[in-house]
Chains A and B, each alone.
Chain A
């Protein structure tokens, strides 16, 4: 940042003209001087992202050991997704090298996101705990899936000879 000292740094006190005169590109030099941004680093992150995608795809493969307990796969995939998201945000979006303003923007937004989802649970998530008889009659139920599976297994029409 020392090369910018001619027109003071980007601290809170600047000269009056500074804000107006300085273009986007100029201010960006502030971020550039932290020494990050090697192409190698990006490729490393890229490889990590590819590896993590393969990992979450692994839950789909027949070798995934917890096929009977989908919850394990869900938790695993969400952990993988959060790791991928962190990698993208921290390195590709340069948040790792940013000043503390990053918390001002990201933490409230993330909290809103979590609260919003939680607040949907009682009205939307639990909407089928208590349903009218009429609704119960017309909505799809696990028994319908079983019925279709039995119909497929019965081969009622396929087995008949010409």
Chain B
């Protein structure tokens, strides 16, 4: 006997009252919440998601404010306008999914389908912009993992020896010789100047009398920290040797850049996975007729999608504007 069956009149000890048809009214206490099972489960899932992202965002905030140095958004080639655009895209997709639900409830299945397709397109656009942004990080050697990442925390001796090691790779020696032998008229003015500076950088990192300031000069030549307002995607900012000769791929210095990369890729990566899952759900929904019968499914998919939007609402200022 449990609380469930105690409140049942005419339930003579039968736990299973479903098969109990003796002609009299059998009432059953419904222990659930006044909402459908699907929606209840979606909300339970979302409350676990709240805690999941709260843990990620909380750790980010705590790591960021506990760090002695944290890179400015433009130091790590983040573009605020692109981030704002992506925020706008996600907000639009939240509106379209809500309109799809309204259309489905009003039995306008084809209209619902149009809204759903639009949501899918906007979600894909968000992912596309995200991929473009990731590319800007990768092209500057900012990766969240160690063998690929070329980010050093400070211009110290370790940095100097990493630059020296890179310049000493056999393939690199051939490439540098090729560059040295290229006649000046075959190079642009920018490349000529960069070649001259590269020569000095090579001398500086092999000198036995290295000062911290020399290494800071090397780091500044390889990849300068862009000033505020500089175009994060390789437009007007000062160009480093890595930008002019992309094959160089020399180690670069971004103070606090490694922790930044770890948190940035973790947060946006998990968010992007959620976006991908949402897009899969929308694709599956598009296989059905989106009439009132499917309104429950659309609502649950919408709840999930709004949550993904919600996470981005916090991610955007925390990552791009803080």
- Residue numbers of A with Cβ under 8 A of B are 10-20, 22-25, 27-28, 30-32, 37, 39, 42-43, 45-46, 49-50, 53, 56-57, 59-60, 62, 70, 73-74, 77-78, 80-81, 84-85, 88-89, 92-94, 98-99, 101, 104-106, 108-110, 112-114, 116-117, 120-121, 124-128, 138-142, 144-145, 147-152, 154, 156-158, 160, 162
Contacts and interface: CB of A to CB of B under 8 A. Distances in A.
A57 B316 CA distance: 10
B59 to A, nearest CB: 6
Given A16-B28, A49-B91, A144-B69, A77 B295 contact: no
A126 B200 CA distance: 41
Contacts of A70: 322
Interface stretch (B134-142, B152-160, B277-285): B152-160
Interface in B1-51: 17-18, 20, 25-30, 32-39, 43-44, 46-48, 50-51
Interface in B281-312: 292-297, 299, 302-303, 306-307, 309-310
A37 to B, nearest CB: 6
A157 B43 CA distance: 60
Given A23-B296, A25-B295, A140-B255, A113 B58 contact: yes
A42 B91 CA distance: 11
Interface string B198-222: 0011000000000011001101110
Given A105-B43, A148-B155, A128 B28 contact: no
Nearest to B294: A25
A116 B292 contact: no
Interface residues of B, number: 93
Which applies to chain B's interface (DSSP): helix, strand, loop or mixed? helix
A157 B200 CA distance: 8
Contacts of A101: 33-35
Interface of B: 17-18, 20, 25-30, 32-39, 43-44, 46-48, 50-51, 54-55, 57-59, 61-63, 65-69, 80, 84, 87-88, 91-92, 94-95, 98-99, 102, 105, 153-156, 158, 193, 196-197, 200-201, 212-213, 216-217, 219-221, 224-225, 229, 238, 253, 255-256, 292-297, 299, 302-303, 306-307, 309-310, 313-314, 316-317, 320-322
Given A27-B35, A60-B321, A85-B313, A124 B98 contact: no
A150 B58 contact: no
